[in-house]
A and B are shown apart, each in its own frame.
Chain A
């Protein structure tokens, strides 16, 4: 076999990265996380990020306070079981326990919610660029993933960051971040962990909606080419992208429908249908904005072959933090605030996904389907069968 033969032979022959059983396990996990009506609670704020959350409410950033805060989220009652498919943990939190000694990971898992873990080690600069970064954390990642799997985690998250300006994102930043995401994803899957791929394009700047859409399309195309090159099993992955929005300082305002149309169009042009689900990050959006935009995305009339749901941190927790303010006596109220934030995602998400499915898959005439497309039909059915109250 000549030299060139051996080079191209490794390119064109498949050396299976995963067995059929491994693939099935990964796909099942991914589907459970984004089951109809469910999304992800991103509770993986690093110690440094938690400082930024706790100082505005006058709470000291101690390990105990971080534990108490996560506890009030994780002990929310069964009302969140139908809204939360997965929780992303920070390393410290994965090994913390409730007041009565139950490990957080076990508490979450026992409720049928999938446990996830943030595995990246933060951003580092790319020399020679205009302040752009890549993300580190690949060293020993395989061993770390194997251990996390033993400790109860079934999915992982890795965040890359890109920004829009006159000169960015550069070709290098796009390529390098796409490549490191693909390496991370490949290593996770080898250890039975579903990788959430997060190529966040920051909303900072005065660019308009079109510019963000263009950049998002370029970035996602590069990400999926890299995932293909690294033989990543797409059905066993999730994508955590930014919504397509104008920059924070953009003078023009855009409606929820415009944001939804731009976002879904960008995804339709770049994300293969095999990807099980797309779980949006909230970026700097308010709780209200984040849920309005997600709802608009789910009711956008274009065909959407993946689940479209949330992976929210701030947008799910802001009210709870404000209600808590570190006081023991506020814990129940804070938990209640969290539940109230999570629940509205459940109903619109189910409803719009069901109607979307009905419209695209059903062969029944529209007249038969019409009552099923009416929100009040569903609301009546749900109220009849549910014991919860809708605020």
Chain B
């Protein structure tokens, strides 16, 4: 990379994680959107998907105070708002950076206990070049690992770390900031310590791979899971427990050169995700990277529940979305003070078992 290329990447990354800002992950694939819409009994058509994203993207411009970037799914990148403007343009005009999911889902790793890698490297460079032309400045690629008796295996860790590094390297060649997402699923009955241990091993492997592939760390972002107990774990932990375990893990593995860490919400409820992020930013350990959000479900659940497919509910849906965005913006600075009891949708756990994505053989 030339110094100009490096500066461009670094600037983009800094803009996305500017103080008080995080990412709206609106990149649900068609299949995944189906699951979201089914819950509110809305048919999974292209038009419905367009309408819902329009509701989010046409929110009040002040949303840009809390949202630094939006991740798109391919289909959405080429859809238009009711006003006839392409969605990337609508988002960009608010001063928000446009991102694109570029992976093509998980694929099985033979000889493992149903572990996966992620595919999508074929022709990735050309696709990235086109996405850059079409308004994108960052990309996202999700790898999935799980904790169980024999997992994550050494192969799963090495293979996913390597594919993430290849993806990151290709993105940077095309002026896209790669968000590196090595998600360790919360499924299972393991405790907090076990998740911390697995996360440390996975992240150490990821950063070794990024170094081996000569990736420019200052022009990347990390999207990890928070360190939490498994969903079926009988022991309960507070946001402070989660925050301390997570920040300790990150301090042991993520170089200071990485500008920002944007947590995924996994199956956490909207309120849980905000409280945990808030606690992260209050941990009394030195945190040289921004700690913020890249939330999908945890930003959209209330909005979906308010909309339920009805045009008349558009404003209410937007307000619900803006409220969550503002709260998470505060949480990213450690300034969120929950005053009122959260709405029912906010507290409802958004966990669905084995959120691995389509397994292709």
Chain A residue nearest in CB terms to B152: A12
Instruction: Encode contact with A along B193-208: 1 for CB under 8 Å, 0 otherwise.
Output: 1100110110011011
Q: C-beta contact mask, A220-243 vs B, less than 8 Å → 1, else 0?
A: 011011001100001100000000
Residues of A near B81 (CB, < 8 A) are: none
The answer for the CA separation of A365 and B117 in the assembled complex, in Å, is 48
Contact A228 B204 (CB under 8 A): yes
For A5-45 the 0/1 string (1 means CB < 8 A from B) is 10111011110000000000000000000000000000000
Q: Does the CB pair A13–B255 fall under 8 Å?
A: no
Decide if B256 touches A268 in the complex (CB within 8 Å): yes
**Chain A interface, >50% SS class:** helix
- Chain A residues with CB below 8 A from B251, complex form: 272-274, 305
Q: A4 within 8 Å of B by Cβ?
A: yes
- Are the CB atoms of B193 and A14 closer together than 8 Å? yes
- Which of B56-64, B101-109, B143-151 lies on the face that meets chain A? B143-151
CB-CB < 8 A to A269: which residues of B? 211, 217-218, 255, 257
Q: How many residues belonging to A are interface residues under a CB distance threshold of 8 Å?
A: 31
Are B211 and A234 in contact, with the CB atoms below 8 A?
A: no
Q: Contact partner of A228 among B198, B200, B218, B287, CB < 8 A?
A: B200
Distance in angstroms from B218 CB to nearest chain A CB is: 8
Q: A14 contacts B288, CB within 8 Å?
A: no
Instruction: Specify which chain A residues have a CB less than 8 angstroms from the CB of B252 in the assembled complex.
Output: 228, 234-235, 272, 274
- Closest Cβ of chain B to A297, distance in Å, is 14
Chain A residues proximal to chain B, CB less than 8 Å: 4-5, 7-9, 11-14, 217-218, 221-222, 224-225, 228-229, 234-235, 265, 267-274, 303-305
Query: CB < 8 Å: which of B152, B201, B248 contacts A274?
Result: B248
**Residues of chain B lying within 8 A (CB to CB) of residue A303:** 256, 288
Residue B233 CB within 8 A of the other chain: no
Contact residues, B149-181 vs A (CB, 8 A): 149-154
Q: Is the CB of A12 within 8 A of B208?
A: no
Contacts of A274 in B (CB 8 A): 248, 251-252
Q: Which residue of A lies closest to B200 (CB)?
A: A228
> In chain B, what residue has the closest Cβ to A232?
B252
For this complex, 11 residue pairs linking A to B, each with C-beta atoms less than 8 Å apart, are: A12-B147, A12-B151, A221-B212, A225-B204, A228-B201, A228-B204, A234-B252, A265-B257, A271-B255, A274-B252, A304-B256
C-alpha spacing A274/B283, complex, angstroms: 14
A218-B211 in contact (CB<8A):
yes
